[in-house]
Every structure is written in C-alpha cells, then in structure tokens.
Amino acid sequence: MAIPVRPRLLAALAPTFLGCLLLQVATAAEKAVDLTWVSTDFKTILEWRPKPTNYSYIVQISDRSRNWKNKCYLTTDTECDLTDEIVKDLTWAYEARVLTVPWRNSTHGKEDLYATHGVEFPSTNAPKFIPYQDTKIGQPMIQEFEQDGTKLRVTVKDPLTLVRQNGTFRTLREVFKKDLSYILTYRKGSSTGRKTNTTETNQFLIDVEKRTSYCFFVQAVISHRKNKEKSPESITVCTEQWKSIVGETFVIVGAVVFLVTIFIIILSVSLCKRRKRKAEQKRKNTPSRLA
C-alpha cells in the first residue's frame, strides 16, 4: 500500500533535495589548488590552477571586519589582481579564497549559473598575506654617481609603489622609511675582488683610489625581515664607461658644432658674394648722368 505524501511536505523538502543535488554537481568541478601570492613593491596578484572547463571561479578576500568581498567574479582566469585591496592596510593579515562555481546548459541552450540557494560551493584558502612583511622588493636603480679623486658618490633612486597617500603614489622609502637599506657592491674595474657598503639613506660615499675605474651595483633589503632577502641587483655601471660616454659625447657635440660653424661661414660668404654681384649688376644697368 502506497504511503501518501503531503504536498506541503514535498514543498518543504524540495530546497533540501535541490541543495544536495547542486552540491554534488559543484563538487564534481575541480577545486582550485596551489594558491600563491605574487607580490612585488605591493603589486599583488593571487595565482592558482587548474584552468577551468565547465566552471568558473570567484575570488574572495577578507577585510578588517572579517567580511568576504568578491573579486574577479565568475572568472575563467587563474589569477586575480588584489592590489587595490591589500594597499588599504599594509600591516593587516589578509585572507583570500577561491570558490569553484559550476555551469549548466539551460533549456534555451545558454549557459547559466546554478542557483546558489543554500549551496556552499567548494573553496580553497590561500595562505595569509601581510603586505608589509611579504611583498618582494623590485630591482633598484642607480640615479647618478660621481667619482671625484678618492671619493665615489652614488645616489639610488627609490622606485614608486602602488600605495597611495592623498592621491599620490608613495616611494619605497616613504613606505618603509628606516626599515629600507641599500647595499652597494663594488670592485676595481680590472679586479674580481668585491667590497660592500650599506646605507639607510639613498646615498653612498666611499673611499676609492685616484685615477682608478670602479664597477658597482646596488640591492635593496628590508632590515626588519628575518630572512634578510635582497632585491635583484641593479644594472652594473662602471665609472670608466661613464667617462668614455662623456668623452664620446663631447667629441660628437664638438664635431656637430664645428660642422655647423663651417656651414654658417660658407653660407655667409655665399650671401655676401650674391649681394655684391647684385649691386654691380644694378650699377651697370643704371644710365650715367651727364654733368
């Protein structure tokens, strides 16, 4: 004998059955794995895999109120730029996760998202990320240098970060202040032996030998970090190369000035001769008056 089922009971159980069905479909899609923060000078991207097929991803990041904010909503990429979120507070430990959201074919042949009523899609958490501690430092740049007798002065240019203050991007020095140090590595141009010098400012002043060429590069380091990780090396420059460039520049400029001067002289002589010929021609064409 069949047991009658009341319509109200079916209506009450329908969302539960639907939720279970959707959860099974959702778990059939692949979860994101290998979540990795890639950050340099606070430019911060969350990366993961695999590339989705019949599903997409939603990236969420938590704020100081522990609320989850959707980023890169329903993306089929495997990376999400979270820079605009992490620069709001550089010392906060950010949490992020990637949700896997399956797709289905509707009766009209178009792709729809499955309804999310009561469904918690599979998610994978990323490691916590503290921008001030975890962002890597990019390659520094030597702004200028000068060798004067036994002194070599080197000035390092602070790169701009994506951290804003009053609408202006702040430099690395403005963000890290005294925590930022630079290491200068230098050697004689004809030697392989190296020396180093460290400064908490942007300038080095080191003792060198007269009439000797030196080659050098700089690296940045955040002194308070435990691993003391250094930035990539700047481009290596040599004082002799600079002298050579300056000398070649003077030669080129001198040659150009010489050629321009010769051209002006030739042009001036040519114009003078032309005026003289015109004046003589005018006198010949003018009839002489009888006294």
- Which one-letter DSSP state was computed for residue 177? G
Q: Please tell me whether residues 93 and 32 are part of one structural domain.
A: yes
Q: Please tell me whether residues 127 and 193 are part of one structural domain.
A: no
Q: Please tell me whether residues 126 and 146 are part of one structural domain.
A: no
Report if residue 77 sits inside a domain.
Answer: yes
Domain CATH number, residue 184: 2.60.40.10
SS3 of 141, please? strand
The structural domain count of the chain equals 2
User: Does residue 30 have a pLDDT over 90?
Assistant: no
- Domain span holding position 150: 141-243
Within 10 angstroms of residue 243's Cβ, the number of other Cβ atoms is 12
Mean pLDDT to the nearest integer, 104-118: 45
Q: Please tell me whether residues 91 and 150 are part of one structural domain.
A: no
d(CA 184, CA 203): 10
d(CA 3, CA 8): 15
Report if residue 216 sits inside a domain.
Answer: yes
In terms of Cβ atoms closer than 10 Å to its own Cβ (0-12, 13-18, 19+), residue 132 is middle
For the entire predicted model, the pTM comes to 0.69
User: Does residue 24 have a pLDDT over 90?
Assistant: no
Q: What is the mean pLDDT of the chain?
A: 81
Of 123, 152, 163, 165, which is closest to residue 32 (Cα–Cα)? 123
